[in-house]
Structure 1
Amino acid sequence: MPNYLDDAQRQDIARLRASFTGRTQWPTWLLLAGVYAAWPILLLLSPRLGLWPTTLLMVPLLVLWMSLQHELLHGHPTRWLWLNKLLGYAPFAVWYPYTLYRDTHMQHHRDEDLTVPGLDPESRYLSQLRWQHSGRLMRLLRWLDKTPPGRLLFGVPLALGSLIVAESRRLLRGDRQAWAMWFTHGVCLTLMFAFIERYSAMSGLHYLLLATVPALAISMVRSYYEHRPSEHPQQRTVINEASWPWRWLFLNLNLHLVHHDLPGLAWYHIPAVYHARREQWVARSGGFLVPGYAELFRRHSFAPVDSPQHPYV
């Protein structure tokens, strides 16, 4: 646990982990079972439900699945990394193999490197040198990405473009781990799309473009203003007091500073830990508090939240 926690806080967290819920992790198991049951059932029922009702139900299910994958790579619901990987490997959301997500996200959790381009793999900031070498179109897209509507529309193409460039370089270098990962992911995708084409009212292309892309875009609402540059690492991570639909879809990751300080804390314990010491968390964040995602849309739909250029790099 972080050394700044006092004895009472440590005892509170220890009690949560020692509780029946903490020991069994039944909420995560229940969600896993629910998603693994809901995904095929929804597709099998899609001829009766209709194409678009199925799509509207599939999108939030995929957002929830991505949040669950995040829990798995942080050691929930088991302590066995291989078992968590097996539980989370299903490529429902298509774009990011579980292994790639796990490895880059663990690197992202080096808080001293948060937001720094080239060190934080999830940074949306550019170094001043890269900014100077960007074309006008790329600069425009980066500015639009700093608004919530722009993140919804252009966040996915920008992220997938970076993914393609980075992974192509690994493959061209002959990186065996990358080849093995993408081959395995490709096999799983082939089987999944065969199921979709055979048993659902969706085509594979419809699922790809109109289910997984919107789901990834919604998940990027969470990361829109999740981090900011700051001289103090603990003040780079937001506390977003979002309303219940977002909290549910993102499994309380809106309280992101709590997660970064206590990455081993399960999603269902985060709100209790936060609300027990709310003023301390807000002070620790340097006042990096957002009252909800609706407020971000209200304030920044037409005004970028900050610059795409990192101020210190």
Structure 2
Amino acid sequence: MANYLDLPHRREIETLARSFTARTEWPTWLLLVGVYAGWFSVILASHWLGLWLSTLLLIPLVTLWLSLQHELLHGHPTRSTLLNTLLGYAPFAVWYPYTLYRDSHLLHHNDQDLTLPGIDPESRYLNQQQWDNSSPFERRVHGLTKTLLGRFLLAAPLAIARLVRDQWQRLPQVWPMWLAHGAMTLLMLGFIAHYSALPVWHYLLLVSVPALSLASVRSYYEHRPHPQPEQRTVINEASWPWSWLFLNNNLHLVHHDLPKLPWYLLPTVYRARRRQWVARSGGFVVQGYGQLISRHSLKAIDSPRHPFA
């Protein structure tokens, strides 16, 4: 447990960890059943629901699945890496193999390296050399992704293109992972083609890509460059629709400090010591995604150039 926590706070968290809810992990189990049942239900009922209502239901459902995969890779609802991998392997979001996401994201949790380009695998910044080597067009694109609208529209296609480029270079080492993921994805797409009203291309382009775009709203401004690692991670006090969709990962500093804490306990731990968390973040607090939408839909939130990398 994080060593900066005072003794009463440690005891509160330990008490929560011994609770029936935490020991059984029933909220995560229930959510797993709900997401699987929801996805299959929408797919099978899509002829009755219609193409576009099915699409509107599937996009947030797949986004929620991405949030749930994040819980699985952090050791919930079981302590078994193998079992959690099996539970999270379904390729509902298509583009990223679960094991690739898991391994990359766990590297991201080295807080000393947060935001550093080339070290933090989830950094949204460029170092000076990368900036100098970028064309004017590339610089413009990087600048656009620093607006919320630009990130929503561009993050998913750029991430997919970067994934293809990077994984193609590593293909001799990673082909077994892609073979397994590709086989599962083909089975899923065959199921969609046979049982649903959605064409395969429609699911690929108008369900999975928008779901990635919606998920990118959460990661739009969850880290910033700062000399102090604990002040690089945001606390976003989002309202319930967003916090539910992102499984409370908007309380991102709490998650980074206590990565083993399950999603349903994050708000309780945060509210119990809100003043301490805000002080630890250096005041890096956002009052919900509405604030980001109103202020930064068209205005860049910061520079794509990292100030000290």
Q: Letter of the 1:262 partner, please give it.
A: L
Deviations 1:240-267 (A, max 9, x none): 0001100000000000000000000000
Secondary structure class of the residue paired with 1:269: helix
Q: What residue in structure 1 maps to residue 282 of structure 2?
A: 286
| Of 300, 304, 308, the match for 1:308 | 304
Q: For 1:63 and 1:296, how far apart are their aligned partners in 2?
A: 19
Q: For 2:106 and 2:301, how far apart are their aligned partners in 1?
A: 26
1:117-266 equivalences in 2 (<5 Å): 117-171=117-171, 174-175=172-173, 178-266=174-262
Q: What residue in structure 1 maps to residue 76 of structure 2?
A: 76
Q: TM-score, normalization: structure 1?
A: 0.98
Runs of 4+ in 1 over 3 A off after TM superposition: none
Deviation at 1:55, TM superposition (A): 0.2
Q: Letter of the 1:205 partner, please give it.
A: W
Q: For 2:265 and 2:94, how far apart are their aligned partners in 1?
A: 29
Q: Letter of the 1:271 partner, please give it.
A: P
Q: For 2:289 and 2:8, how far apart are their aligned partners in 1?
A: 32
Q: For 1:94 and 1:224, how far apart are their aligned partners in 2?
A: 21
Q: For 1:169 and 1:280, how far apart are their aligned partners in 2?
A: 45
Residue 53 of structure 1 pairs with residue 53 of structure 2: yes
Q: What residue in structure 2 maps to residue 16 of structure 1?
A: 16
Q: For 2:188 and 2:164, how far apart are their aligned partners in 1?
A: 21
Deviations 1:199-236 (A, max 9, x none): 00001100010001110000000000000000000000
Deviation at 1:36, TM superposition (A): 1.0
Deviations 1:55-102 (A, max 9, x none): 000001001000000000000000000000000000000011000000
Deviation at 1:163, TM superposition (A): 1.2
RMSD, matched Cα: 0.6
Deviations 1:37-64 (A, max 9, x none): 1111111100011000000000010010
Residue 298 of structure 1 pairs with residue 294 of structure 2: yes
Deviations 1:95-153 (A, max 9, x none): 11000000000000000000000100000101111111111221111101001100111
Q: How many corresponding residue pairs?
A: 309
| Of 273, 277, 299, the match for 1:277 | 273
Deviation at 1:17, TM superposition (A): 0.9
Q: Percent identity?
A: 62
Q: For 1:219 and 1:168, how far apart are their aligned partners in 2?
A: 24
The answer on whether the counterparts of 2:157 and 2:209 sit within 8 Å (CA) in structure 1 is no
Q: For 1:156 and 1:215, how far apart are their aligned partners in 2?
A: 9
Instruction: List gaps (5 residues or longer) in structure 2.
Output: none
Secondary structure class of the residue paired with 2:122: coil
Q: For 1:157 and 1:312, how far apart are their aligned partners in 2?
A: 28
Residue 267 of structure 1 pairs with residue 263 of structure 2: yes
Q: What residue in structure 2 maps to residue 92 of structure 1?
A: 92
Q: Letter of the 1:96 partner, please give it.
A: Y
Q: What residue in structure 1 maps to residue 5 of structure 2?
A: 5
Q: Letter of the 2:13 partner, please give it.
A: I
Q: Letter of the 1:222 partner, please give it.
A: R
Deviations 1:280-307 (A, max 9, x none): 0000001100001110111112220000
Q: For 1:36 and 1:105, how far apart are their aligned partners in 2?
A: 23
The answer on whether the counterparts of 2:156 and 2:213 sit within 8 Å (CA) in structure 1 is yes
Q: For 1:31 and 1:188, how far apart are their aligned partners in 2?
A: 22
Instruction: List gaps (5 residues or longer) in structure 1.
Output: none
The answer on whether the counterparts of 2:234 and 2:251 sit within 8 Å (CA) in structure 1 is yes
